Structure 1
Amino acid sequence: MRARIYKEVFFEATHRLIHYRGKCFRLHGHQWRVEVWIEGTADERTGIVLDYNCIKEVVGRFDHQVILNEDDPMAACIETFHPVITTRGDPTSETLADLIADMIDAEAARQESDARVAKIRVWESTSCYAERTYDRQ
């Protein structure tokens, strides 16, 4: 049976946008909110599409982290004191949505589940989010 599940997860992290001219060019933090819709086949024995904790654990990898563009010269400096998550391009809400969706999909596949992200929203404030939808079946 195909089904859709939903999970909301929060994390705290800092980032900056090196290609943006404005306040977000400076290193700053957010309480990020991630909403994920997953579609897949429910396990015949458990009835579970994908364990909610799987989603929470993937998103939790970003909690209390520094997220920077891989080309940001600040990344190497900070890396001497704290791990840095790097992204291709600036770590915008849009970029993080794709990255997190890919990570969740990879974890589901590792668990031999056909569950895939159908939609994801990444909020960087209470009034701003990026949304991505996927047809990954």
Structure 2
Amino acid sequence: MKTRIYKEVFFEASHRLMHYSGKCFRLHGHQWRVQVWMDGTADERTGIVIDYNSIKQVVSAFDHQVILNEDDPMVPCLEAFHPVITTSGDPTSERIADIMAEKIDAEAMRQNLDARVAKIRIWESTSCYAERIYESH
């Protein structure tokens, strides 16, 4: 029997959209809100689909980080002082949703769990988010 679980995690990080003409072109920060829905089969012994802390650990890797397009000329400058998380393309909330879903799915697979992200929502502010919905695995 499939079960759906939900976890919400917050993190602080900065980013910039190199190919955007507007304020978000500049390096700026957000308190990001991540909502994750996962479908899976609960373990017979524990009754757990995936430990909520596994989801939190994946998201927390982004906490207090700088997230930039891998082609952004700021990357080498900032890396002299602080690690930079790079993305192929601008680090939009849409792209970050996909990256986090992939990382959460990889962690579930690493643990040999029958659990996959069904939906992920990344809030960039209190009034806007990107949502990705994935087909069943």
TM-score, scaled to structure 2: 0.99
Q: Which amino acid aligns with 1:21?
A: S
State how 1:102-121 maps to structure 2 within 5 Å.
102-121=102-121
Question: Matches of 1:120 and 1:45 in 2, distance apart?
Answer: 27
Partner-residue secondary structure (3-state), 1:50: coil
Matches of 2:132 and 2:54, distance apart in 1: 20
Following TM superposition, by how much is the alpha carbon of 1:114 offset from its aligned partner in structure 2, in angstroms?
Answer: 1.5
Query: RMSD between aligned alpha carbons?
Result: 0.5
After TM superposition, the structure 1 = structure 2 runs for residues 48-127 of structure 1, keeping only pairs within 5 Å, are: 48-127=48-127
TM-score for both structures, normalised by structure 1: 0.99
Amino acid corresponding to residue 51 of structure 1 in structure 2: D
- Flag structure 2 segments of 5+ consecutive residues without an equivalent: none
Letter in 2 for 1:49: V
Mapped partners of 1:73, 1:90: distance in 2 = 12
Matched, 1:129 2:135: no
Name 1:31's counterpart in structure 2: 31
Aligned length, in residue pairs: 137
Report the identity percentage: 77
Runs (4+) off by over 4 Å = none
For residue 40 of structure 1, what is the amino acid of its counterpart?
A: G
